[in-house]
Structure 1
Amino acid sequence: MAATATPRPTPDPRRMPALYLSHGAPPLADDPVWPGELAAWAAQLPRPRAVLMVSAHWEEAPLGLGATTTAPLTYDFWGFPEHYYRVEYPAPGAPALAEAVRKLLHTAGTPVQDVPDRGLDHGAYVPLVEMYPDADIPVLQISLPTLDPQRLMEVGRRLAPLRDEGVLIVGSGFFTHNLAALRQGGTPGWSAEFDDWGRRALKDGDVDALLDFTAKAPAGRLAHPRTEHFAPLFVTLGAADAAGDLDVRRSVIDGFWMGLAKRSVQFG
């Protein structure tokens, strides 16, 4: 007798999805394909009341809350043409969201600090420029307080109730990230192998494998010699797990950019 398949949960139509996206570098804006993919993705999403962004480019403990009023961008990159340093993204601050984050994490005993002059870094504003170009949605960036996957999942679980309040939780990293090992022309084998492994792990809902990716993935250490660009995924996974929609997932963007996997995933 054939086993009965477990029905997939139905997404709550009032709940915002949780995203993990690969954010690229400032030249993403000049790519002929990727900006359109990000814009099309945003167009398919419910309009968020606010965006809570966790970027690979801000590691600070205790967990930091960025500027809650519009602040100058953080141009945390070097050696690019001057016009990339003239990009602006004057999104409204999100003081109410910051207060909600404080309450949720304080209840869990997680210390929080305010960093009021810390503007959005390129891991936050580069994709947002393409997704919400009018810069009319309040954005709050928070820091990665650790790179430990289990602890980051717990942060995501604590933040999950915000999804029911119209907040889009976004983990922004890069599905593979080893600039030192890139070769000119084509996609390195280690990048393709890790991306395929990650695609299958996500499809199968194998969170345990993802949590132990440096040991279980092929070329795990080569794809992520330092794990900050994969770490935001675990905040997203935690936010999905707490809402019960880890099984409601899809890869929205895939392929490679300058040899790195740009896989981006939606839960809910």
Structure 2
Amino acid sequence: MSAPTSEKLPTYFIGHGGVSILFKPGYEPVHQGLREMGKEIKALKPDAILLTCGHFQSETDAIQVNLKEPTKVWHDLGPSWWTTFPHVFEYQYPHKSSKALGEKVLKHLVDQGIKAEGVERDLDHGIWVPFKLMFPEGEDELDVPILQISTYDGNDFNAHIRLGEALSSLGDRILIIGSGMISHNLRATREQSMDTTVARLIEEAAFAALAAPTTQERDAQFLALQQRDDWPLAHPTEEHVLPLYVTLGVGKDWQDYKVWNHDQYIVGQSYFSFRLGALPEVEP
């Protein structure tokens, strides 16, 4: 059996989707991509997983760190789900949490000059939905703590890159993941148009940015997305793309990347996901 080295772990951005991807037909390719990511992450043997998510923005001017232990699945879904698909409120996802880990991350952020505070909340669907596919219950469950921290209130992409840079020195084999979507327009999704142009073009721009010749140019291209004419059609509000910029900050020095779920989009939404950084070599 090979064991991971002490090399720094890579970082990931996952296009998480909503609860409908768990049971509606047609999402099998998305499932496959998320499952492949999950297997790769499990092989890294992280000691814990820290996440930012499009469903957890700070309510103050500080980054909020979850200190609740234990946490449960939060069915943070609209009231229409009770009448359309009530079975989704039966979904559960067994997982570990850690107040001690939250306190460690909180202290680290403060030491790094990031204003931060502790809060208590449960695990929202931006985490448990993709994790049910990445680390399926009864088959390949996670056995390490999951910790959520917030993004900032607002859409300052550079501030989120700086947050990722601060998190990058956490150490202790803590894997950092951003969970969001590169295109997230629920109104367009509900209208069920057949025109996927916006999601496709935003994905193409993201794919090109990852292939930039330097990490500085990569980040510049991602920051420039906000200036695109079609950006408001991809993100009427930008909370779901903020974790991407945290991921960029964590991986600011890493040129290597891998992409999953490219070209797996629907109207208004993209499941584009990627890793920054090379996989560490393993010791025999």
Q: TM-score, normalised by structure 2?
A: 0.82
Write the distance in 1 (CA, Å) between the matches of 2:117 and 2:6: 33
Deviations 1:14-50, CA, capped at 9 Å, x for gaps? 2221111110001212232222321121212312211
Are positions 1:225 and 2:223 aligned together? no
The equivalent of 1:7 in structure 2 is: none
Out of 107, 130, 134, which is 1:131 matched to?
134
Partners in 1 of 2:145 and 2:262 — Cα distance?
A: 27
Q: Which amino acid aligns with 1:193?
A: L
Residues 196, 266 of structure 2: 8 Å contact kept: no
1:119 to 106, 122, 139: 122
1:118-173 deviations in whole A, cap 9, x for unaligned? 001111111112222324221001111233111111111111123x4211111111
Offset of residue 227 of structure 1? 1.0
User: Is the partner of 1:140 in helix, strand or coil?
Assistant: strand
Unaligned runs of 5+ in 1: 1-11
Cα deviation per residue 1:203-253 (whole Å; 9 max; x = unaligned)? 2142112113120x3511211121111111010000111xx21x1112122
Q: Secondary structure at the match of 1:59?
A: coil
Asked if 1:240 corresponds to 2:251, the answer is yes
Q: Cα gap change, 1:23/1:188 in structure 2, threshold over 3 Å: closer, same or farther?
A: same
CA distance in 2: counterparts of 1:25 and 1:83, whole angstroms: 14
Q: CA separation in 2, counterparts of 1:142 and 1:100?
A: 12
Q: Quote the residue 2:86 is aligned against.
A: 82
Q: Percent identity?
A: 26
Give CA-to-partner distance per residue, 1:184-213, whole Å, 9 cap, x none. 254421121111112111221421121131
Q: Which of residues 151, 164, 168 in structure 1 aligns to 2:159?
A: 151
Moved more, 231-240 or 29-38: 29-38
Task: Flag structure 2 segments of 5+ consecutive residues without an equivalent.
Answer: 278-284
CA deviations on 1:87-125 (whole Å, 9 max, x unpaired) are: 112311122321221122111332222222x00111111
Provide the aligned C-alpha RMSD in A.
Answer: 1.9
Answer whether contact 2:17 2:126 (CA < 8 A) is retained.
Answer: yes
State the partner residue of 1:18.
Answer: 11
Structure 1 residues 223 and 145: alpha-carbon distance in aligned structure 2, compared to 1, 3 A threshold: same
| Mapped partners of 2:195, 2:174: distance in 1 | 35
How many residues are aligned here?
Answer: 251
* Greater mean alpha carbon deviation, residues 118-127 or residues 181-190: 181-190
Q: Kindly provide the CA deviation profile for residues 31-75 of structure 1, in whole angstroms up to 9, marking residues without a partner as x.
A: 322223211212123122111011101111321112441222222
State the shift of 1:83 in Å: 1.6
CA contact (8 A) 2:29 2:261 kept: no
CA distance in 2, matches of 1:35, 1:267: 21
In the alignment, does 2:187 pair up with 1:191? Answer: no
Match of 1:49 among 47, 50, 58: 47
Deviates more, 1:69-78 or 1:150-159: 69-78
Match of 2:188 among 181, 186, 209: 181
